[in-house]
Amino acid sequence: MSSISIGQAVILGIVEGVTEFLPVSSTGHLKITEGLMGIQVDDRAVVAFTAVIQVGAIAAVFVYFRSDIVRFLTAWVRGLRNPELRQDHDYKFTWWVIWATIPIVIVGLAAKPLIEGTLASLWVVAGSLIAGSGVMWAADQMGRHRRSEADTTFKDAMLVGSSQILALLFPGFSRSGATMSTGLILGLDRVAATRLSFFLGLPALTGAGVYELKDAVGGGVDVAPLVVGTLVSFAVAYASIAWLLKYIARHTFTAFVVYRLVIGVLLFALLGAGVLGA
């Protein structure tokens, strides 16, 4: 029997779709939601399920940014064939995304037991929500917004890509929050930092979902909940991406910082009162 029902899959798909790209931590919200529904958050199949439904959200990025992705890949293929075209920014940017993904892959594989064990605790999620808020607040203060997407460099990609490790090790920190904050600190404008966060998340999240698929199916989660959760997360994430790009162009992180602090403190309170198990 599946450890996750269709109804639970719908709820988790909605939570994943809403929170994957907002800087509020999808992993943290999924773990909190799972805890409230009585799902064992550190169960191997459940951990795999959450990674797989992320593929739905990342598919929304592929669809939403399809013209950009086609442009990048076309420039990359042309550059591979013709050395004279390798100075094109789109060609170099595609290579930067590839190189910037390597650090999180190495850490993810090396620290897998720790990530799925001790660091999966809701206590860690609560602390990371609050700590990540501090980083986002600092990024708002330090950001100068002087550089656009066309001004991004290899250094930007590597630093922003490596910042994803924070969210990998500390669920609740937020991958998008870490990457967007790093982009702002490096001087990128809000839209450039947000788009870079999206593009750098494509290979990492897709790879994680595909890698975990065997454990989700083989660990007790039926195919039906996986499919439902993934489709729901795709639809909700697409709408979330469109909203975020419009919102972030005109607003600071303040609303997200306050929200994260409230959720973090509330989670500490629920854990301390025994309402939720860590």
Q: Residues 226-246: pLDDT tens digits?
A: 899 999 999 999 999 999 999
Our count of domains for the chain comes to 1
Q: Which residues contact 100 (CB under 8 A, 6 or more apart)?
A: 157, 158, 160, 161, 162, 200
What is the rounded CA–CA span in Å between residue 43 and residue 113? 13
Q: Is residue 278 part of a domain?
A: no
Q: Is residue 39 part of a domain?
A: yes
Q: What is the mean pLDDT of the chain?
A: 89
Q: Is residue 31 part of a domain?
A: yes
Q: Is residue 116 part of a domain?
A: yes
φ, ψ for residue 96 (rounded to 5)? -60, -40
- Looking at residue 278, what is its pLDDT? 65
What is the rounded CA–CA span in Å between residue 260 and residue 256? 6
Q: Which residues contact 46 (CB under 8 A, 6 or more apart)?
A: 3, 4, 34, 39, 40, 221
Once rounded to an integer, what is the mean pLDDT over residues 76-102? Answer: 95
Q: Is residue 49 part of a domain?
A: yes
Q: Is residue 81 part of a domain?
A: yes
Q: Is residue 1 part of a domain?
A: no
Residue 149 region by backbone torsions, left for phi larger than 0, else alpha for psi between -120 and 50, else beta: alpha
- Looking at residue 171, what is its pLDDT? 85
Residue 231's domain spans which residues? 6-272
Whether the pLDDT of residue 120 is over 70: the answer is: yes
What is the rounded CA–CA span in Å between residue 88 and residue 112? 37
Q: Is residue 10 part of a domain?
A: yes
